[in-house]
Structure 1
């Protein structure tokens, strides 16, 4: 060798550690090359030793390594150079070469960093794509470093919150903007997600957004980067549900208006039919009674004429009663409903329609109808029953100091029990037995057919309806319906 190690143990150590070392003489000829250096180059050490570094590596200056070699050879100060090169197999490699003064010459001590460079390139590419995605996404993305208590928001967060968010805020910044009624629930859910780890954490809540409004949002987050068995980060997205909730509220309002219009139209048709059908017999009865009055005013009473007039008046009144009974039979003779009805949806719609135009601030409403409770029947007909009962309850509390309206439902085995309650004056015992009879009403201006038709509809559904007194005052109507198996 032109330049040899004086310490054989040092050579042994270099080879054992598989260090890529090339020793270069003052005339820039290679004096020695380790096995690792030869393997990195792709040629044996015998081919490299004794040749000029510019002969072995013609692109040395292009890699900045040539200039570094000359500078260290002259100034005797070490330098490091990062380079990208190709070996004889045309494989692209990355390395960091430390140029060290070595005796009268220098040494190249090279550490290959191809794997690290590829990983760094891929990481930089992922970060770039992540940055572009967060800028393009409409959802608000966020990442919370738990140990550092550093919460980072995507650019969409600045628009949503309506303020400039520093690059990394404490978690308290977010918690302070959550609605006070939701804060404890959301925070406990986040803590549970971190303690359990894995899966997805989903919460809906209200948060203070731009223009000082509380927006209803849904957060989906994933715990990541576990350390010592616990997640150290939460990655999530915040989706604004305000528009969807407003649309749903508007839809419910329009549906309630539609139901009300349908009910008014149906009642209008019924009233028109009743007026038309009842007009003739009632007019006839009035005429007969008027004739009787004139006959009774005569000096001589004609008893036979009076009896005939009374009989005709009675027949006319009986005919009017038959018209009403015929209307009820037309309802009774319909096919029993057999559809599947979501009771909560029917109750929600009925309550929304009844509350239109009602001062809700003076009314305490309790709605306890489980979701997913299914009954057998026709949704529209059942809705009319609940509308009638709820409207009666609201009107019964018109003069009450305590206005508590209750709508509850419970599973009663093979049936479902629905309860509509109020805190009105109650129903006198004398009136209760005929409450469901046609033309029986406790209202000054009521037609008295609402409860009768309601009972007809409920019984047609194979159910029952009855009334009870509340212990603390008021009334409750109970409707029992068939439950879907």
Structure 2
């Protein structure tokens, strides 16, 4: 209700403010238009007086021209006789047809039709007024306002200026008459305001303020009840904690009388009763493991004394090792309100802790053994998968060269030179397989790779020669941009492994595509050689790109996801790197970076 009343007051205040602004603009504009009417009538009276004095027509025309110059709404002035009317000034256009009727007093005459021109006549002088010029934009207020001037007899619109054209939330309207007896035209002033004129920010502030006030009031009314309920709940929680504690808790008054005790305290301190002195049942004794215990000082302590290690409780005929403390309860003015005695049996607790510690150590040992077993299995699996992946390429080449040699030997007149070449290539690929096994063993032992002077151009050309059969089968156009030499410090077998893996991946990516193209380029940069291998395939998908060099992530149906991972590992082991991305137009682009060889390098 308060929010509604306040909003209504804000609306009425804003409405009054807007109404006042509208009334002021309407009064000012009404006064301006009334003065404009008076000026027109003044021009009419002045010209009629000059004509009545017999001023020559040419001279009269000069006077008229000077008189109407400040008034753009006066478009023409005519001098009329029974034979007709003649303009005293140059005409801007054709004037409406209006027969002349002699008359002595001033009057307003309207041409036939619904045009916007009308004439003021007095005697033989006629002044033509363009009603649309009565409302120039410079005279209108800054805030848009609709102004309409009507003909008195027909209420048709004589001149208007529209200031609306938007959804109206509030409209002010007033109709007056122009303040001259000769031209008492009805005039309408109208202004429309959209929804954004309302003080929405003030509304929101007021609503927030009233909501905050209502919330504060409601909170104040329920604060006592909530506080009482919270205090009651807190007491219940405290009692529940005390009752559930495995430690004995005894609340004492300043004299040591038992006021409250939990079940654990009754179990530990046999014979404990509310209202009796706690010292009758809590008889503490020192053991051989500690110095004598000053029980009187313990019970009168003001700073929370703690029972020394090895303290025993005399419980009937037996002694039980216990631990505990006596904590004073102080009031607001540091007055002693009582004490809280906390006791626990140490012997069973120690046994439980030792048992739990032994069980925890046993589980840790079992978990470590399981992790070691899983690690060995994982390492064995990765070694097997990596070995199979790396040996697949030279073994495939050996099979291809062997089949080619058999076909050549099966001819009627076999050419032994290609056969020798195939057998030679088979031997080379077998040696390569042996070197791969050796390098994998070196990699597993984490031994450093053998660094020698390697020509990357020669290595790339060797791999292209090795893959020539697949290049011809797929119809791949190979483009190379190699310098004369590109010497790097690296392991030759590992370099060829990386290049072969990249070219094999490119061929698989372009399989089945029309006009496949493969580009290989070598460029120097800051002490390194950069080998670029780019294909014209579909490129790397957004799903595989983030995991490109992670093991066992592959988009191939039969792939293991180890080729690029091993290649990057080899490149980084040589002091370089291997990165992959999509090309600028299409296809995938891989970049191998290796350190350049310099004569100062100590290599074999």
In the superposition, the TM-score normalised over structure 2's length comes to: 0.28
Structure possessing the higher radius of gyration over alpha carbons: 2
